[in-house]
Chain A
Amino acid sequence: MRKRIILRLFLFVAVSISLCSCVHDEMYSTSDPSSKEYQSKSLWKEDEVYIINVKEIYEKNEDKIRKGHGTPLWDYAMTMDKFDESYLLVPIKQNGEVSEVLEVPRFGKKIYFKYTTAKEKLSFFRKFLIDTPKKTLPTSLSNDASKIICVTRTVSIWYPDNESDPNASGHWGSTSYTQCYDITIDTFENPDTGGDGGGYDYPPFGSGGGDIDSTLLPKTPCAILKEQITNIGYMDKIEKLDKYSVLSQKKEKGYSESKSGGFTELQQAASTEGSDGLTIPVSVNTKGYIHTHLNDYLTTFNENNEPEIRQPIRMFSPADVNTLMTMAEFAADGNYSDLYGTMVSSYGNYTIKFTGTAADIKTGFDSTKWNDDYIDYKVLHDSWSFEKLFLNFLKYKMNVQGVDLYKIKDNGTVQRKVLNPANNNVSSNDCPQ
């Protein structure tokens, strides 16, 4: 009896070990690349000037950047259709496999190193580096070269039915990787995945004195918001709304801003049935809007003569997100960076920005069903803060990508609010000063 159990245990252990060892694919073997000259092994045209320069800067500062990570395989570095010396990804080899990808963007005259284990980047390089035939498929570009673009790289890989006879039957599978450039400099200045947050001088852009023409660089949402809060027109409206006398009214107030310049006060529609809703019309000319969400207010008294209080949700609603999406839909040129929606409330002043691509634009969130679902979600998650409520509903119920939440603090700090994927709590990332 005991023998049988022990035998079964051994079998189980043997099977598990063999299964685990099958997981690691064969790596395309290369000689140690760190001392070699760069020779592109990518299937696409790359910005080789940038790769060579970054490799040189990396090697000069390896002790500060590497910190226990593996070896970069520079021959496989890819600049993802950027040819302005501004971005590359390079796979990192450690313990015989591609363990991570090193991401190196240039912001201005400095380059930043950040290690990532993001699934789509890692699996792309892992599959690319397997020793099987490959052919390229057309790249899809969703935008112009001078703006932030999303590039989908698709590669077909041959999977033979019998690996000892690869020229016999099999099938082509494909692997693809979509890169949308992360234009938020703060994730590179403080990476939690190693590398060095300081940024390194990029001599080709840093020599000869004088600044780079900053209009050539795409502006991050942080940069745009920091400019906005120094804009007199915008701040004048914020100050007009951010007062107890306005927030304690039983009606919302606000302004819309047009692309051609100027703010218009939003009209409150009087109604015979006491609603006085704020009208927010959206057109192709709308750049953004600012509106209040109300303080708690008295509705009536109960039988004990105690006041009955209404507690509005002082945070963006699905309908507010829909307004931003409608503005994005109008932007036929794909330029979304100036669009915004601001909410002024006693909980704080917040702005939502659209940072996605055309594929991320979704509307219909102003429906009765979305409103009902949002309120019910709030009821069930009654202990959550308004920030946590909004970000969780946005991500898990509305399935929206590309809408970012920022808080504008009284002291002029702008903070991005994000969900920590480990526990779905809210983290705050200060915009750089």
Chain B
Amino acid sequence: MKNTLFISTFLLMMISCKAQVIGTLEQFEECQKRPNRDEGCPDLDNITYVKDTNNRLNQFVGTWKGSFAGKQYEIHFEKIIQFGDDIKWDRIFGRMIIKNNSGTIIYNSLNKSLSETGLLRGSNFRGRVYLLSFVANSYCNDSGEAFIEISKTNPNQMTLFFDRDKTSFNPAKCPNFSTYVPTLPKDKMILIKQ
């Protein structure tokens, strides 16, 4: 009797827990390429976990260093599995430490948690390039999209390109906008894996 009770309760629990519907990064990459993409891709709405089934994110994981225009950039990329709430994704997150030419640290997000601002937050691939959003200071448009790709000939070499937001802002909240220097450079940067 006890056994039947246990089994039936267990079965009931299994049935009541919602089953995960797993999709792939590739499916959502295809969605973004559709000409009517702004209307959404309702055929993918039931997916609750977007998985890196082919482990394509693994190539970015590690500590990467580069320098540009006198500044030293060190980025720690990690792969996070099942990040999200109602819908979860496998993603890359990046934390940085930036030094100026005197060696002074001018930016440090290494100790930030995943729920804080100022991290590189991965979304998805577009071909061989992976996109991450970056928001350090919205008042001054110190935000935008980073594009990273691994060199075809050298898996320890990464290019990072940052496109800064060109959106509207309230001048009262960023009086020095015209000379404000954003966190990431506007030109392509090479990073070497450590």
Interface residues of A (CB under 8 A from B): 1, 250-252, 254, 266, 269-282, 291, 294, 299-300, 302-304, 306, 308-312, 314, 317, 319-320, 323, 346-347, 366-372, 375-376, 379-386, 388
B39 touches A385 (CB 8 A): yes
Measured between C-beta atoms, what is the minimum distance from B157 to chain A in Å? 10
- Cα of A250 to Cα of B165 in the assembled complex, Å: 9
> Beyond A273-B182, A380-B86, A383-B44: 12 further Cβ-contacts under 8 Å?
A252-B168, A269-B169, A269-B171, A272-B179, A277-B168, A300-B161, A319-B138, A319-B170, A372-B138, A376-B121, A382-B50, A383-B28
Specify the chain B residue showing the minimal Cβ separation from A315.
B38
Known: A273-B164, A302-B128, A303-B128. A368 touches B169 (CB 8 A): no
Using a CB–CB distance below 8 Å, which chain B residues touch chain A?
1, 28, 31-32, 37-45, 47, 50, 84-89, 91, 117-118, 121, 123-124, 126-129, 133, 135-139, 141, 143, 145, 147, 149, 151-152, 159, 161, 163-173, 177-182, 186, 188
Residues of B within 8 A of A306 (CB): 127-128
- Pairwise interchain contact B42-A368, C-beta atoms closer than 8 A: no
Which of A279, A309, A311 lies in contact with B169, CB distance below 8 A? A279
Report how far A319 CA is from B85 CA in the complex, Å. 24
By the criterion CB–CB under 8 Å, are B121 and A375 in contact? yes
Q: Which residues of A contact B39 (CB under 8 A)?
A: 385
Number of A-B residue pairs, CB cutoff 8 Å, is 166
Minimum CB–CB distance for A363 against chain B, Å: 11
Residues B163 and A310 in contact, CB atoms below 8 Å apart: yes
Closest beta carbon of chain A to B150's beta carbon, Å:
9
Docked Cα-Cα span, A388 to B38, in Å, equals 10
Which residues on the B side are within 8 Å of A280 (C-beta)?
Answer: 168-170
User: For the complex, what is the distance from the CA of A384 to the CA of B44, rounded to whole Å?
Assistant: 9
Across the A-B interface, give the 9 residue pairs with the lowest CB-CB distance, nearest first: A385-B40, A383-B44, A278-B168, A371-B138, A372-B135, A383-B41, A379-B123, A347-B38, A299-B163
Cβ–Cβ contact B121 & A379, under 8 A: yes
Q: In the bound complex, do residue A299 and residue B147 qualify as a contact, i.e. CB atoms below 8 Å apart?
A: yes
**In-complex Cβ contact of B145 among A250, A310, A372, A386 (8 A):** A310
Q: Looking across the interface, which residue of chain B has its beta carbon closest to that of A323?
A: B170
Q: Chain A contacts of B178 at CB under 8 A?
A: 269-272
Q: Given the complex of chains A and B, what is the CA–CA distance between A303 and B149 in angstroms?
A: 8
Cα of A383 to Cα of B25 in the assembled complex, Å: 12
Residues of A within 8 A of B137 (CB): 368
Contact at B180–A273, with CB atoms within 8 Å? Answer: yes
In this complex, what residue of B is CB-closest to A312? B167
Contact B181 A250 (CB under 8 A): no
Q: Is the CB of B149 within 8 A of A302?
A: yes
CA–CA, A304 and B126, complex, Å:
12
Which B residues are in CB contact (< 8 Å) with A314? Answer: 38
Q: How far is the CB of A154 from the nearest CB of chain B, in Å?
A: 37
Question: Residue B40 contacts which of A308, A309, A310, A388 (CB distance < 8 angstroms)?
Answer: A388
29 inter-chain pairs at a CB distance below 8 angstroms, sorted by A residue, are A1-B1, A251-B166, A252-B166, A252-B168, A271-B177, A273-B186, A275-B164, A278-B167, A280-B168, A299-B163, A302-B128, A302-B149, A303-B149, A303-B152, A308-B147, A309-B126, A310-B145, A366-B139, A368-B137, A371-B138, A372-B117, A375-B133, A376-B121, A379-B91, A383-B40, A383-B44, A383-B45, A385-B40, A388-B40
Q: Are A302 and B127 in contact (CB under 8 A)?
A: yes
Chain A residues near B129 (CB-CB < 8 A): 302, 308
